[in-house]
């Protein structure tokens, strides 16, 4: 199995800076943990002479319920909660004029309270974007500049779904055009609300997100971003942990969609960079069930001739320490007298799916492993399950099998 969770450089999100052509007083931030954008603190900044927008925290701008009572996912409506997308085109007379082209999801079905909270949260994001563009336009508009014109806001839907009939999740992209000599920007933002509580939910509600599996899921998403945007994102130096550092996300029945704003991880010509990571490889909470089970396999264990002190390993030979918990498999591998590595995969039927560290577009069967009786075992590679004697030799070589998930 090829390793997928090696060390990946984490790039910091651009934050702060000065405004070259914008005098924007508006704000448009995002809650980093929930992936829910809010109009709290979006600052225009200049990076390498290019205008950019930096996210700086925030809260969910949804209506609050004081009683603390929870709704069922479907509420009192006869129809399940779902999103419908409507497009509107209009022109605002405010300032020097502003063109609007908005594709906006509306929650339908569910209870009236659920619709009110979700639709209000989405509307608040759109209104915050309008205000930001108008403030930006009014601060930079020059009537003597022949290239100056009306401001413009375009809103696109990257993802909109009610996942598992409960989690209302929306990811939008905004194209903001200042009307000041062709200066523009793109910023994704999201709304993620649990319909039962009518409050924002964290990514850990839908993804296995503790310890090694947190690293694993982040790596899967990162590799997907690279593979599906290969002309813009060329290596792992842009890796950012979800949901920190400004990455926006939304969940659907097809997977988790993530997005970065313009200039965050790629050249401005690439605009917003987004991709959807499939559930075929992502680890969900339901994939990590029960207690971890550890199995150890060894191959050709012999005395290590290079041992010269009590600190040296006494034995040499290959080993595989397999931790399996539900559908997730973690393998620590190496030689008793040398270094090793690790890799993670996910069981699907009789196969183990894994992605290489060089990126992937699809999910591939790992031919060096097979599944028998629900167990991940080496396939025809000369390994056998370790005996008590083998385990004792491993201990003498300072390799002790233990669960890692």
Tell me which DSSP letter residue 239 carries. B
The larger pLDDT score, comparing residue 91 to residue 157, is at 157
- Residue 107 and residue 250 in one domain: yes
Q: What is the largest CA-CA distance in the chain?
A: 87
Same structural domain, 169 and 227? yes
Asked if pLDDT for residue 172 goes beyond 80, the answer is yes
Helix (H, G, I), strand (E, B) or coil at 138: helix
Residues 213, 293, single domain; the answer is no
| 272: containing domain | 29-286
Inside any domain, residue 390 = yes
Asked whether residue 262 is domain-assigned, the answer is yes
**Is 23 contained in some domain?**
no
Residue 12 included in any domain: no
The CATH number of the domain holding residue 220 is 3.30.565.40
Q: CA torsion sign, 201 to 205 to 208 to 209? A: positive
pLDDT range class, residue 357, cuts 50, 70, 90: very low
Triad 273, 187, 168: Cα angle to 5°: 90
Assess if residue 298 is contained within a domain. yes
Let me know if residue 2 belongs to a domain.
no
Same domain, 135 and 164: yes
309 and 331 in a single domain? The answer is: yes
- For residue 105, being part of any structural domain is answered with yes
Residue among 14, 4, 81, 88 nearest 53 (CA): 14
Q: Which residues contact 280 (CB under 8 A, 6 or more apart)?
A: 346, 348, 353, 363
Which of 165-179, 185-199, 221-235 bottoms out in mean pLDDT, i.e. has the lowest? 221-235
Is the same domain home to 121 and 236?
Answer: yes
- Same domain? For 245 and 339 the reply is no
**Residue 377 sits in the same domain as residue 232:** no
Domain boundary among 286, 310, 336: 286
- 259-275 pLDDT, tens digit per residue, is 988 888 888 889 999 99
Q: Give yes or no: residues 345 and 237 share one domain.
A: no
Specify if 4 maps to a domain: no
pTM: 0.74
Domain boundary pick from 263, 286, 309: 286
What percent of the chain clears pLDDT 70, i.e. is strictly above it?
72
> Does the pLDDT value for residue 93 go beyond 80?
no
Answer with the one of 251, 286, 321 that is the final residue of a domain: 286
| Claim to verify: residue 158 and residue 293 sit in the same structural domain | no
332 and 219 within one domain: no
Average of per-residue pLDDT values in the chain:
76
Most confident of 39-43, 338-342, 383-387: 383-387
What does the block give as tokens for 144?
A: 């003597």
Q: What's the structural domain count of the chain?
A: 2
pLDDT tens for 207-247 read 988 877 887 888 888 888 888 888 888 665 455 555 554 56
385 with 348, same domain: the answer is yes
Q: Is 328 within 8 Å of 217 (Cβ atoms)?
A: no
**DSSP assignment string, 45-102:** EEETTEEEEEE------S---SS-PPPPSSTTSSS--EEEEEEEEEEE-STT-EEEEE
Distance between CA atoms of 265 and 221, rounded to whole angstroms? 14
Assess contact for 352 and 346: CB atoms under 8 A: yes
Residue 250 and residue 160: Cα distance in Å, rounded? Answer: 8
């Amino acid at each position: 199995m090829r390793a997928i969770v090696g060390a990946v450089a984490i790039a910091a999100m651009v934050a702060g800076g000065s405004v070259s052509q914008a005098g924007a007083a508006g704000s448009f931030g995002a809650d980093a943990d929930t992936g829910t954008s809010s109009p709290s603190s979006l600052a225009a900044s200049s990076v390498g002479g290019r205008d950019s927008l930096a996210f700086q925290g925030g809260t969910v701008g949804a209506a609050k319920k004081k009683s603390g009572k929870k709704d069922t996912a479907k509420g009192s409506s006869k129809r399940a909660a779902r999103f419908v997308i409507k497009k509107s085109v209009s022109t605002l007379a405010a300032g020097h004029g502003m063109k609007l082209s908005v594709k906006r999801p509306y929650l339908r079905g569910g209870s009236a309270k659920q619709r009110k909270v979700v639709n209000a949260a989405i509307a608040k994001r759109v209104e915050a974007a309008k205000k930001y563009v108008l403030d930006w336009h009014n601060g930079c508009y020059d009537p003597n500049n022949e290239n100056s014109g009306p401001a413009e806001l375009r809103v696109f839907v990257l993802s909109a779904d009610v996942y598992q009939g409960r989690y209302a999740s929306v990811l939008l992209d905004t194209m903001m055009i200042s009307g000041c000599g062709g200066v523009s920007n793109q910023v994704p933002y999201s709304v993620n609300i649990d319909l039962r509580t009518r409050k924002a939910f964290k990514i850990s509600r839908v993804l296995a997100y503790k310890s090694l599996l947190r690293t694993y899921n982040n790596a899967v998403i990162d590799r997907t971003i690279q593979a599906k945007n290969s002309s813009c994102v060329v290596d792992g130096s842009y890796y950012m942990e979800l949901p920190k550092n400004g990455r926006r996300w939304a969940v659907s029945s097809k997977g988790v969609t993530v997005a970065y704003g313009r200039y965050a991880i790629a050249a401005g010509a690439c605009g917003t960079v987004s991709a959807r990571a499939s559930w075929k490889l992502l680890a969900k909470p339901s994939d990590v069930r029960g207690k971890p089970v550890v199995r150890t396999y060894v191959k050709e264990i012999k005395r290590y001739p290079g041992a010269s002190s009590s600190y040296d390993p006494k034995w040499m030979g290959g080993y595989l320490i397999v931790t399996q918990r539900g559908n997730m498999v973690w393998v620590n591998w190496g030689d008793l007298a040398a270094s090793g590595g690790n890799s993670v995969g996910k069981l699907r039927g009789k196969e183990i799916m894994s992605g290489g560290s060089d990126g992937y577009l699809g999910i591939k069967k790992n031919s060096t492993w097979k599944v028998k009786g629900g167990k991940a075992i080496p396939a025809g590679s000369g390994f056998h399950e370790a005996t008590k004697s083998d385990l004792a030799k491993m201990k003498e070589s300072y390799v002790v099998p233990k669960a890692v998930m």
